[in-house]
Chain A
Amino acid sequence: GIQVEQSPPDLILQEGANSTLRCNFSDSVNNLQWFHQNPWGQLINLFYIPSGTKQNGRLSATTVATERYSLLYISSSQTTDSGVYFCAAPTSGTYKYIFGTGTRLKVLA
């Protein structure tokens, strides 16, 4: 099945800084999603982005499917951005979504 790897595993930022999170996947995908898990454990879908670039406020994501990676950009980070960011992709030909191990982000005031 597909392997999904995320980097860096941990990231500490000062409020206002920018960051880039990376998601590599081992197989071609027709679907990729980014999620944020807040400190209370709630999982929120950020982007459904099989290819191209999308933006939502201070967050944007780019997926280059041919090169098997996706990037999540966080600009002007805020303390509320803290938590764990996951990417997920399905094993080819199925709806069996596999998650990466996540990037744990802490934004300091």
Chain B
Amino acid sequence: NAGVTQTPKFRVLKTGQSMTLLCAQDMNHEYMYWYRQDPGMGLRLIHYSVGEGTTAKGEVPDGYNVSRLKKQNFLLGLESAAPSQTSVYFCASSYSGSRKAGNTIYFGEGSWLTVV
């Protein structure tokens, strides 16, 4: 049981390049989230999904796109990377449908992205 897995862990991009971050969870969770964390700051929600085929905007969605074609995967895309998108990106998931389990959020280990 791997939990929440993010790939890649580290990436350096040039301004204007595109890339996709992949998040995979094996807990059969309905909800998935992408956050970014800048140095010394809290986490800000980029996009989230409440089920397969659904996505919704978070606090800072501009410059990012997401897709949830399969329940276990949530992809975050940067179409034209900018230095302001240099950050650590965290994927998270929650809610297996069990009321007893509640909506506890589980995080991946993070993906360090640098845009030069």
Interface of A with B (CB < 8 Å)? 1, 31, 33, 35, 41-45, 48, 50, 86, 88, 94-102
Contacts A41-B110, A42-B109, A96-B56 given; does A48 touch B44 at CB 8 Å: no
Cross-chain pairs A/B with CB under 8 angstroms, 15 sampled: A35-B105, A41-B88, A43-B110, A45-B104, A48-B103, A48-B104, A86-B43, A88-B43, A88-B105, A95-B31, A95-B50, A96-B48, A99-B35, A99-B43, A101-B42
Q: Which residues of B contact A44 (CB under 8 A)?
A: 107
Q: How far is the CA of A50 from the CA of B104 in the complex (A)?
A: 11
Interface of B with A (CB < 8 Å)? 31, 33, 35, 41-45, 48, 50, 56, 58-59, 88, 90, 92, 94-95, 102-107, 109-110
> Which listed residue (B41, B105, B110) contacts A97, Cβ 8 A?
B105
Complex A-B, nearest 4 residue pairs according to Cβ-Cβ distance, in ascending order:
A43-B107, A99-B43, A48-B104, A101-B42
**CB atoms of B102 and A97 under 8 A apart:** no
